[in-house]
């Protein structure tokens, strides 16, 4: 089975997905997985590694020893995009090894983690506004999220200027009277949404479509199909 999954990686090395989870097991260890997607959009995990923590030295061991032990260096040179779930330790370690055998790969962050989870963590939920405004507030947040997703997909912002205009228009929309009305007149809610978007924009180089549209995996903006 291991040989079969590695064969899939050798067939489809263009995009590699890196993810680490700890909440889904009762051992309190961290499961680091590497996967690819086939031509039929099937996701295949070709490497799993249990880590004691998410410290940088743990990731370094996997990248510098585990991967090399499998003899995959030759195939990683064909990887054009490596996508992670946004963990800062992963980002730092991936960045450090890219110069070694991922020099051609675009360092990407999962759009679903950035947008959906980022919004949930940083923006007030519907129960924080008056009941009669809850539906409008949900629609407002959904519109903001879809706007951000458009920066990650083909056919929307195809160059720096188009992205700059779209970004400016989004901030104007967040500052609009209709947005404040959806928030039930709560200025603090609008401020929190602005702060979240500004924080997300600070990492724009990891998700903007126009920066990686020449890559073969340009359509990929999230880690998993259900996201």
The predicted pLDDT at position 121 comes to: 94
Question: What's the Cα-to-Cα distance from 164 to each of 30, 51, 149, 156, 167, rounded to whole Å?
Answer: 38, 40, 15, 12, 5
Token pair of 163 as six digits: 């992205």
Instruction: Write the pLDDT tens digit of every residue in 174-189.
Output: 999 999 999 999 999 9
The predicted pLDDT at position 19 comes to: 83
Nearest residue to 100 (alpha-carbon basis) of 131, 134, 72: 72
The predicted pLDDT at position 226 comes to: 43
Per the listing, tokens 């129960």 go with 127
Radius of gyration of the chain (CA): 20
pTM score > 0.85 for this model?
Answer: no
CATH architecture assignment, domain 2-109: 2-Layer Sandwich (3.30)
The predicted pLDDT at position 97 comes to: 67
The predicted pLDDT at position 84 comes to: 83
Asked if residue 84 lies in contact with residue 108, where contact means CB atoms within 8 angstroms, the answer is: yes
- Phi first, then psi, for residue 184 (nearest 5°) are 70, 30
Strands 43-51 and 81-84: unpaired
Instruction: Write the pLDDT tens digit of every residue in 88-132.
Output: 666 776 777 676 667 778 888 889 989 999 999 999 999 999 999
Break the chain into its structural domains and give their ranges. 2-109, 112-205
Q: Which residues of the chain have pLDDT under 70?
A: 1, 22-27, 86-90, 93, 97, 99-101, 218, 224-227
């Amino acid at each position: 089975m291991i040989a079969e999954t590695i064969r899939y990686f050798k067939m489809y090395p263009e995009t590699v997905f890196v993810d680490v989870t700890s909440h889904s097991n009762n051992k309190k260890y961290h499961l680091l997985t590497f996967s690819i997607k086939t031509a039929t959009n099937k996701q295949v995990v070709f490497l799993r590694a249990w880590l004691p923590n998410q410290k940088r030295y743990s990731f370094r061991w996997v990248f510098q020893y585990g991967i090399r032990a499998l003899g995959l260096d030759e195939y990683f040179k064909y990887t054009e995009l490596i996508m992670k779930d946004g963990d800062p330790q992963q980002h730092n370690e991936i960045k450090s090894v890219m110069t070694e055998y991922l020099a051609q790969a675009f360092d990407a962050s999962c759009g679903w983690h950035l947008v959906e989870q980022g919004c949930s963590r940083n923006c007030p939920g519907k129960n924080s506004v008056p009941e009669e405004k809850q539906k409008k507030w949900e629609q407002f947040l959904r519109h903001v999220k879809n706007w951000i997703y458009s920066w990650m997909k083909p056919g929307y912002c195809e160059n720096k200027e188009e992205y700059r205009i779209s970004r400016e228009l989004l901030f104007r929309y967040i500052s609009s009277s209709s947005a404040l009305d959806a928030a039930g007149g709560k200025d603090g809610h609008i401020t929190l949404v602005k702060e979240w978007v500004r924080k997300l924009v600070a990492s724009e180089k990891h998700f903007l479509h126009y920066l990686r549209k020449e890559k073969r995996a340009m359509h990929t903006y999230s880690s998993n199909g259900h996201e």
